[in-house]
Amino acid sequence: MQLFITFVLFLLALLRLSRASFYDNPPLELPPAEGTPLDELERKWGTDFGFSGIMTYAHLPHIRCLTTPSELFDIGILGVPFDTSVSYRTGARFGPRAIRAASARQTSFRGFNARAGLNPYTAWPKILDCGDVPVSPFDNALALRQMSEAYLELVNRRALSYDESTFWTHPRVVSLGGDHSIALPALRALNKVYEQPIAVLHFDAHLDTWHPAKYPSAWFESPGAQSDMNHGSMFWIASNEGLILNSSSVHAGLRTRLSGDDFGDYHDDDRQGFLRIETDDIDVLGVNGIVRTILDTIGTETPLYLSIDIDVLDPGIAPGTGTPEPGGWTTRELIQILRGIEGLNIVGADVVEVSPGYDDRAEGTALAGAHVAYEIITSIVKRGMKDRGLWVESEHEKPGRLSNWRDKAKQVISDMGDGAQKVVGARNEL
Ligand SMILES: [Mn+2]
């Protein structure tokens, strides 16, 4: 009996102990008079869950870069909420805030990109959410000027990790659109800073090299009218201004209808020196063939503007966009292509045409936009590491390890020689 009572008392004591650890908070104590040490505050309160915190892209620190030139950075995320030059659905002015909201589960705490072998948010560069350009919704001529001056203001600055021996003299700005016309001011600014035409890699269902007169324009004196600038003509304008590197630029994911009764739009596009990779080409070439075609056309040293219209994706996946076209690539295919071209020399980039008013309730389009931006940032960070000799191949990347199957696939494509590019080139000449 005594043994039994002892046993019961022992059990009660255990219960008390466990209750003490689970249910009893330590008594509240006033912070020390000299204040809680900063490292202690940071340790306790310095992290966020995906759902907490003020909304910035990937929980990055927000500095209004345009008004804070003293705060140098290497990569800036810049919202460009402009949508008054769209031809169909308006609403992309809400794109930057939708992409920021959809990026909430990206944190430096869990930011390692397993496809690329690095965490862009803990690697060498200082990455800021630079906030938005306060762009006019009333006056497109003024808006174009504002966007051009804003982009120039930022890319003309000295990169925090300035390195003259590489291409890292100026910071990289990744714009969140906004409609696609925001690429024109970016290209104007990049030409000013780098003093040369920039290659354009353009993911889109549409050409966006359309002559302004290819839109209903009886009321306008075109070219030359303010209405010339729209989200399907900005590359035509940029080409005419000599901003785009002819013959080293690529469209990828095309499936647009063309104007009139013939291939005239393609002939206009040819004159602007773009290689056209169509959506359906992925079934012939595969992801690796498309990657190879892009790399062979652009090369890895040419300064490049990477412009991603989210309508390159199938509208079943990404319906929240200005001019949806059925039959597009999947997000997985786009991500794989982006990873394949990570060696390109990106000096500026955008993710455009996310229009949340038409998105599904699970924010699928904005999620795709946020992820695509993450892949672009990853590539810029990785290229910077390689340029600086900081890149170390991880075990996963070494031949014979987990990526062995990928090496074999790459070998098959490499055995094609420049065949992939020739296939697309030959079709372009038809
Ligand atoms: Mn577009």
Cα of 255 from ligand 1 centre, angstroms: 12
15 inside domain: no
pLDDT of residue 237: 97
The label of the residue with tokens 């190879």 reads 292
pLDDT of residue 4: 74
Cα of 421 from ligand 1 centre, angstroms: 23
pLDDT band at 268 (very low <50, low <70, confident <90, very high): very high
Mapped onto helix, strand or coil, the DSSP state of residue 345 is: strand
Cα of 233 from ligand 1 centre, angstroms: 9
Cα of 399 from ligand 1 centre, angstroms: 38
Cα of 382 from ligand 1 centre, angstroms: 27
Ion ligand 1, residues whose Cβ is below 5 A away:
180, 204, 208, 309
3-state helix, strand, coil in the chain (%, to 5): 45, 15, 45
pLDDT of residue 354: 98
Cα of 171 from ligand 1 centre, angstroms: 25
Could you tell me the CATH number of the domain that includes residue 212? Answer: 3.40.800.10
Report CA dihedral (371, 377, 378, 383) to the nearest 10 degrees.
150
For 316-341, the pLDDT digits (tens) are 999 999 999 999 999 999 999 999 99
Owning domain of residue 179: 58-392
Cα of 57 from ligand 1 centre, angstroms: 22
298 inside domain: yes
List, edge to edge, every strand of the sheet that includes 345-352: 127-132, 75-80, 172-177, 345-352, 303-309, 199-203, 249-254, 274-278
Proportion of the chain above pLDDT 70, given as a percent? 94
Instruction: Tell me if 366 sits within 8 A of 102, measured CB to CB.
Output: yes
Cα of 303 from ligand 1 centre, angstroms: 21
Cα of 343 from ligand 1 centre, angstroms: 24
pLDDT at residue 401 greater than cutoff 60: no
354 inside domain: yes
Cα of 295 from ligand 1 centre, angstroms: 21
Mapped onto helix, strand or coil, the DSSP state of residue 16 is: helix
Domain count, the chain: 1
Cα of 302 from ligand 1 centre, angstroms: 22
Q: Tell me which residue of 338, 335, 311 sits closest to 325, measured CA to CA.
A: 311
- Mean pLDDT, range 143-161, rounded to an integer: 98
pLDDT at residue 375 greater than cutoff 60: yes
List the structure tokens of 1. Answer: 């009996």
106 inside domain: yes
pLDDT band at 257 (very low <50, low <70, confident <90, very high): very high
414 inside domain: no
Cα of 169 from ligand 1 centre, angstroms: 29
373 inside domain: yes
pLDDT of residue 404: 62
Phi, psi dihedral angles at 338 (to 5 degrees): -60, -40
Instruction: Tell me if 316 sits within 8 A of 282, measured CB to CB.
Output: no
The label of the residue with tokens 């300064």 reads 303
Phi, psi dihedral angles at 308 (to 5 degrees): -120, 110
pLDDT band at 409 (very low <50, low <70, confident <90, very high): low
pLDDT band at 222 (very low <50, low <70, confident <90, very high): confident
Mean pLDDT of the chain: 92
pLDDT band at 20 (very low <50, low <70, confident <90, very high): low
410 inside domain: no
For 86-127, the pLDDT digits (tens) are 999 999 999 999 999 999 999 999 999 999 999 999 999 999
2 inside domain: no
Cα of 206 from ligand 1 centre, angstroms: 6
